[in-house]
A and B are shown apart, each in its own frame.
Chain A
């Protein structure tokens, strides 16, 4: 918002900005996790992998204008990849997570190619079919994917140099947040580069974009693949944190939750993805508490989270169409204008609001 206040040297160096984001974020997490209980650290870890998937999805939806209902399934691809590699093949954590992102990206290529030929509801439908169909594969090949019970792996213990009484949950929060920060770094750079601008151009007007030399389908496919890799990384971390990759975790609802989280957080906003992740972590707890306090039957209470998501989504669309982050942004610019109006003489020309996001 206050672009003129940022020195030119910083404004023009994307790396400087994204690296400082990552360093500040990393230090904050290192400090905070020390003070949190095991349970809260575990919740932070959940938030970390949700963020990775949400950030990828929000860039896809906000920048490239594509809606995917298949990101839950792409998380499953990453989750099973890291589960198989760590559990069966004995891979180390980092290469397994890289592979989780890579395999999801590869699965994302045909999906992205299909997505670049589909628009709006048809794209949503195609990706939804993927989300519905994929978890069934675990049942189809029980010897590989463990069927209904899924794959279990041993917890990744904290390295010895962190000391013997370093909590496992804190270490898991570190892993998840490190991956979230990597996703943030890459997507922040991408959004602020010419690639991000090309994606927005394709989103706004495909014909004009192609006359400017942009290959519409290629841009949309690239966006989908990057987004799929983020979801895959999130899924890979899911397995590490929960020590389990099972079809029950990746039902269609997950894809719907992810999309709801992105929309409620603020479509296209990386900060909005943080709000979305918080929502995904806390809302199930709240709804469970709510169901218990009213002592509802299990039939009702099991479906309550989804119903509440629906209600929140509709309410957000009506009241805050640009999501939580959009709401904060308009609040910020309202305050900025109020302050500006007070400090400026009445006849002075009004400052242009910076429209760039």
Chain B
């Protein structure tokens, strides 16, 4: 399945001129974004700007009306969500989306399930290869949980854990698939200050090895972990660049405040208001 990359195709994922309309509303309007290995790309914008729609297009939950997506230099024609993990793309959800009646370990094992080799027939008669798969998946899951300091809670049910820990388990479930691109949908939502510091460390560590895209409202986090930031407003890319440039971009400030404003402090203040909204 590994195809040789085209020369010059340094980008893992490129989204080109993608347009999505829901009824009369343009959720995305000729949006182009790309992200490369070893890079953390932040996607920000006011509520309703199209950030999650962009993720949904990449994951195949929403089919674009126009535009193309390419992955490792090859065009993806029809993306189907269940094919993503074997393509090397993983995503966390805005809510935690953990499997509520399964233990943490089982949750993470499901994340690793594209490594499973035995089929349903060998599972029915419990061939040794089916058990071997299970051991392999369990080892992978436990290793990933240990990396995120969650090894001690492997047998717990998600509902018994604090929200921040559930989010870490959800991250483990995405990472255990060994993705080359990780999509994080509001990873900081609901986290306290200490947990944010931890999350920052984790994203920085992951971002050195693979490509990461983060949709986030928490401006401090975006500005500190992202190598590049794309700003969406009303479905359009209104600015893109390194965090420092974005902070002082008047178009960005206008999008957030709806009027002209000065200085980076204004942006932070606007975000504080934004994060409070549901």
Give Cα A213 to B134, complex, Å: 16
Chain A residues bordering chain B, tally (CB within 8 A):
37
In the complex, which residues of chain B have a beta carbon less than 8 angstroms from the beta carbon of A317?
none
Proximity string of chain A (183-226) to chain B, C-beta cutoff 8 Å, 1 when within and 0 when not:
00110011011111110110111011111111110000010001
In the complex, which residues of chain A have a beta carbon less than 8 angstroms from the beta carbon of B109?
194, 197
Q: Which residue of B lies closest to A355 (CB)?
A: B157
Given contacts A213-B85, A215-B82, A355-B155, contact A193 B102 (CB under 8 A): no
Give Cα A15 to B85, complex, Å: 29
Q: Is the CB of A216 within 8 A of B102?
A: no
Given contacts A204-B101, A213-B177, contact A197 B110 (CB under 8 A): yes
Q: Is the CB of A352 within 8 A of B134?
A: no
Majority SS of interface residues in chain A?
helix
Give Cα A209 to B135, complex, Å: 20
Contact partner of B124 among A190, A203, A216, CB < 8 A? A190
Give Cα A28 to B136, complex, Å: 36
In the complex, which residues of chain B have a beta carbon less than 8 angstroms from the beta carbon of A198?
110, 113
In the complex, which residues of chain B have a beta carbon less than 8 angstroms from the beta carbon of A204?
98-102
Q: Is the CB of A355 within 8 A of B123?
A: no
Q: Is the CB of B155 within 8 A of A189?
A: no
In the complex, which residues of chain B have a beta carbon less than 8 angstroms from the beta carbon of A212?
85, 110-111, 113-114, 173, 177
Give Cα A203 to B106, complex, Å: 14
In the complex, which residues of chain A have a beta carbon less than 8 angstroms from the beta carbon of B174?
211
Chain B residues bordering chain A, tally (CB within 8 A):
46
Q: Is the CB of B135 within 8 A of A194?
A: no
Give Cα A356 to B106, complex, Å: 9
Residue A18 is within 8 A (CB to CB) of chain B in the complex: yes
Q: Is the CB of A211 within 8 A of B131?
A: no
Residue B84 is within 8 A (CB to CB) of chain A in the complex: yes
In the complex, which residues of chain A have a beta carbon less than 8 angstroms from the beta carbon of B111?
212
Residue A354 is within 8 A (CB to CB) of chain B in the complex: yes
Give Cα A198 to B123, complex, Å: 12
Give Cα A15 to B110, complex, Å: 22
Residue B248 is within 8 A (CB to CB) of chain A in the complex: no
Residue A14 is within 8 A (CB to CB) of chain B in the complex: yes
In the complex, which residues of chain B have a beta carbon less than 8 angstroms from the beta carbon of A342?
none
Give Cα A186 to B97, complex, Å: 30
Residue B35 is within 8 A (CB to CB) of chain A in the complex: no
Most buried by B among A194, A195, A200, A215: A194
Contact partner of A194 among B99, B102, B137, CB < 8 A? B137
Give Cα A188 to B59, complex, Å: 34
Within 109-152 of B, Cβ neighbours of A (below 8 Å) are at: 109-111, 113-114, 116, 118, 120, 123-128, 130-131, 133-135, 137
Proximity string of chain B (58-80) to chain A, C-beta cutoff 8 Å, 1 when within and 0 when not:
01010000000000000000000
Give Cα A195 to B119, complex, Å: 8
Give Cα A188 to B118, complex, Å: 17
Proximity string of chain B (77-107) to chain A, C-beta cutoff 8 Å, 1 when within and 0 when not:
0000111111000110100011111110011
In the complex, which residues of chain A have a beta carbon less than 8 angstroms from the beta carbon of B83?
213
Give Cα A203 to B137, complex, Å: 20
Q: Is the CB of A213 within 8 A of B155?
A: no
Give Cα A13 to B113, complex, Å: 19
Residue B156 is within 8 A (CB to CB) of chain A in the complex: yes
Contact partner of B103 among A190, A196, A205, A355, CB < 8 A? A355
In the complex, which residues of chain A have a beta carbon less than 8 angstroms from the beta carbon of B59?
211
Give Cα A205 to B59, complex, Å: 16
Residue A12 is within 8 A (CB to CB) of chain B in the complex: yes
Q: Is the CB of B114 within 8 A of A189?
A: no
Q: Is the CB of A207 within 8 A of B97?
A: yes
Q: Which residue of B lies closest to A356 (CB)?
A: B103
Q: Is the CB of A15 within 8 A of B177?
A: no
Give Cα A147 to B100, complex, Å: 49
In the complex, which residues of chain B have a beta carbon less than 8 angstroms from the beta carbon of A18?
126
In the complex, which residues of chain A have a beta carbon less than 8 angstroms from the beta carbon of B133?
194
Give Cα A200 to B109, complex, Å: 12
Give Cα A69 to B52, complex, Å: 39
Q: Is the CB of A186 within 8 A of B124?
A: yes
Q: Which residue of A lies closest to B119 (CB)?
A: A195
In the complex, what's the smallest C-beta–C-beta distance from B113 to chain A, in angstroms?
6
In the complex, what's the smallest C-beta–C-beta distance from B59 to chain A, in angstroms?
7
Given contacts A200-B101, A352-B155, A356-B106, contact A213 B137 (CB under 8 A): no
Contact partner of A352 among B93, B97, B137, B156, CB < 8 A? B156
Contact partner of B123 among A190, A208, A210, A356, CB < 8 A? A190
Q: Is the CB of B102 within 8 A of A197?
A: yes
Residues in B lying within 8 Å of A, measured CB to CB = 59, 61, 81-86, 90-91, 93, 97-103, 106-107, 109-111, 113-114, 116, 118, 120, 123-128, 130-131, 133-135, 137, 155-157, 173-174, 177
Residues in A lying within 8 Å of B, measured CB to CB = 12-15, 18, 185-186, 189-190, 192-198, 200-201, 203-205, 207-216, 222, 226, 352, 354-356
Q: Could you list 12 A-B pairs, sorted by A, with CB under 8 Å? A: A15-B127, A189-B125, A189-B126, A193-B118, A193-B123, A194-B118, A194-B133, A194-B134, A204-B102, A212-B85, A212-B114, A214-B82
Identify 13 new A-B residue pairs, CB closer than 8 A, beyond the known A18-B126, A197-B106, A198-B113. Answer: A15-B128, A185-B125, A186-B125, A194-B109, A198-B110, A205-B98, A207-B81, A213-B83, A213-B84, A213-B86, A214-B113, A215-B82, A352-B156
